[in-house]
Amino acid sequence: MPVVLALLYVFGHGLVVALLPGPAGLGSFVFLTGAPLLAAAACLWRARADRAALGWRAIALALLLWAGGMGINMLDALSADRPDITPGASLLLYVLYGVPLVFILARSRRERWAISVIDGIMAALLGVLFFVHTQSFADHVGIDDQALANMQRMFDIQNLCIAVFAIVRWASCDVPERRSVFRALALYALAYLLVAYYINHFTSEQSFGAYNDLLIDVPFLLLALLALRRSPATGFVLQPRLARLVQAGGPIILPLLLLVVGTLVVDHARPLALAGFVLATLGFSLRSALLQIDLLERQAGLDQLARQDGLTGVANRRQFDAELQAEWNRARRSGSELALLLVDIDHFKAFNDAHGHPAGDRCLQAVAALLQHSAGRAGDSVARYGGEEFAVIVPGTALDGVQALAERLRRAVEALQLPEGRVSISVGIAFLHPPATADAGQLLADADAALYAAKRAGRNRVVMQGEAPAGADRR
């Protein structure tokens, strides 16, 4: 149905040109202004429930600027006594049409708002510089035979850059929502490039209201159809390394274009050119610094995740192995005490089977938090050893203090009230003073043997390495 409506739109435009030309092609101007407005509406509709909403909104803004330029052309054609600023105003809007497009093409995948503001300022100044350079040709159209050709060439360059950048971003994007945006923009930009080239170079002598106006509808209607199409964008994708290269190089587009266009206008707009040079340098430097901060923060977060158990928030097995080895090395050098507590939640499998996995996860989280809180000293380290087992590294503490800590942990868990009932723990202690074993693995083996002895003796108890378990079952 949308395709049929698009064909009917072009057909209606052709009928208006043939039957109702009107003064200065008024009927055709209505269709020429309506096509980008329809495409903008389709992009805004797509942005309502799309993760790549910013891209669709940027395209819609570009289309509104273009429609504004065409609207001013219509006013200029209808009123011969319009002020001289009218042609310049329409030219400005046609130039600024490219600013939102270049802005969205230069963006990386995820950026903080400050970086977006910097890019927006650079894109806006780029549009101003491009307008100044294009206007310098427009001012000499009547007196210089090459002025019109130079102005047409500037628009060709603008359209070609947008099309090429959009195709590259389309081919390198692996996020379906963003890929749909770049696909729509690339196909639209290619169609617009061909149509604009033909209109500007082969029909520039004709006024609006001719049949070639129907070609101008095509890119905008194509974009509207692509925006209304919700299917994911598929097709060729660059290799991951090349895709990352494109993504990393995207932010260079704006400062590079600022430097190039600033060089073009340096003779007739030196202050603006200097502003472009300064903004290109400072803007890129500042956005690079902000991006580096983001990367460092993300790296810190990844490092934290690599060391932390995702469910309980205590150290994971990898971090535990590293800390145990480090503490064993330190105790070996200094001759100080080192203790290791292995903690197992009694009958956890039965608890998990009876109450479900969510309740089991809550139990693990509650016990881990209690162990973390009860371990007390900053030097003590609590880790999830695996499954329902936890480990507590206790450096520099005498044996009686270690035993007191283990008993305190046992009593705290025994008193813990969960919605599903109470749980208990068994604790195995390994202690060295000074460390005389060959490696830290022996300390772990001793603690594991003590934990096994505690469970074999009835659970809910503390057992020291080499100690014969005594006492009744406390369950």
Nearest in space to 247 (alpha carbons), one of 239, 259, 255: 239
Q: Which of 262, 285, 305 is the last residue of a domain?
A: 305
The DSSP letter of residue 33 is H
Predicted pLDDT at 453: 94
Contact predicate 346/425, CB 8 Å: yes
Burial class (CB in 10 A: 0-12, 13-18, 19+), 311: middle
Check which CATH number belongs to the domain holding 10 and give it.
1.20.1070
Domain count, the chain: 2
- Residue 406 falls within a domain, yes or no? yes
Predicted pLDDT at 322: 92
Check which CATH number belongs to the domain holding 321 and give it.
3.30.70.270
Contact predicate 219/195, CB 8 Å: yes
Beta bridge partners of 428: 342, 463
Same domain, 9 and 48: yes
Beta bridge partners of 342: 391, 428
Contact predicate 65/97, CB 8 Å: yes
Average pLDDT for residues 245-250, to the nearest whole number?
Answer: 77
- Residue 61 falls within a domain, yes or no? yes
* Tens of pLDDT, residues 122-176: 999 999 999 998 888 887 777 777 888 888 888 999 999 999 999 988 888 878 8
Contact predicate 32/210, CB 8 Å: no
Domain ranges, residue 430: 317-464
- Residue 91 falls within a domain, yes or no? yes
Most confident of 10-19, 76-85, 296-305: 10-19
Beta bridge partners of 462: 427
Which residue's structure tokens are 């590294």? 393
Percent of the chain with pLDDT over 90: 51
Contact predicate 291/111, CB 8 Å: yes
Q: Which of 276, 305, 334 is the last residue of a domain?
A: 305
Average pLDDT for residues 4-23, to the nearest whole number?
Answer: 85
What is the DSSP track for 406-469? HHHHHHHHHT--BTTB---EEEEEEEESS--SSSHHHHHHHHHHHHHHHHHTTSSSEEETTPPP
Same domain, 21 and 161: yes
Say whether pLDDT at 86 is over 90.
no
Same domain, 327 and 258: no
pTM of full prediction above 0.85: no
Q: How far apart are CA 337 and CA 398, in angstroms?
A: 7
Average pLDDT for residues 209-224, to the nearest whole number?
Answer: 92
Beta bridge partners of 382: 392
* Tens of pLDDT, residues 296-310: 888 888 888 888 998
- Compute CA distances 218 → 78, 88, 103, 198, 252, whole Å: 25, 26, 24, 13, 32
- Give the strand order in the sheet containing 462-464: 381-386, 389-395, 338-345, 425-432, 462-464
- Residue 139 falls within a domain, yes or no? yes
Percent of the chain with pLDDT over 70: 91
Say whether pLDDT at 472 is over 60.
no
* Tens of pLDDT, residues 434-446: 656 667 888 999 9
Same domain, 366 and 322: yes
Same domain, 119 and 182: yes
Higher pLDDT, 378 or 188: 188
Question: Of 127-141, 339-353, 406-420, which range is least confident?
Answer: 127-141
Take residue 397 and report the two structure tokens written for it. Answer: 């503490």
Same domain, 298 and 415: no
Say whether pLDDT at 311 is over 60.
yes
Backbone φ and ψ for 192, nearest 5 degrees, come out as: -65, -40
Same domain, 233 and 354: no
Same domain, 268 and 368: no
- Residue 471 falls within a domain, yes or no? no
Same domain, 103 and 232: yes
Predicted pLDDT at 295: 83
Predicted pLDDT at 440: 85
Instruction: Estimate to the nearest angstrom the gap between the alpha carbon of 3 and the chain centroid.
Output: 33
Looking at this protein, which amino acid is placed at residue 291?
Answer: L
Question: Residue 334 — very low, low, confident or very high, per pLDDT cuts 50/70/90?
Answer: confident
- Residue 475 falls within a domain, yes or no? no
Contact predicate 290/115, CB 8 Å: yes
Q: How far apart are CA 208 and CA 30, in angstroms?
A: 11
Say whether pLDDT at 204 is over 80.
no
Say whether pLDDT at 473 is over 70.
no
Q: Which of 305, 325, 345 is the last residue of a domain?
A: 305
Predicted pLDDT at 253: 87
Predicted pLDDT at 198: 93
Same domain, 253 and 344: no
* Tens of pLDDT, residues 42-63: 999 999 978 888 999 999 999 9
Most confident of 27-31, 415-419, 423-427: 423-427
Average pLDDT for residues 347-363, to the nearest whole number?
Answer: 93
- Residue 470 falls within a domain, yes or no? no
Q: How many residues are there in the chain?
A: 475
Same domain, 393 and 283: no
Q: How far apart are CA 311 and CA 384, in angstroms?
A: 10
Same domain, 79 and 123: yes
- Residue 312 falls within a domain, yes or no? no
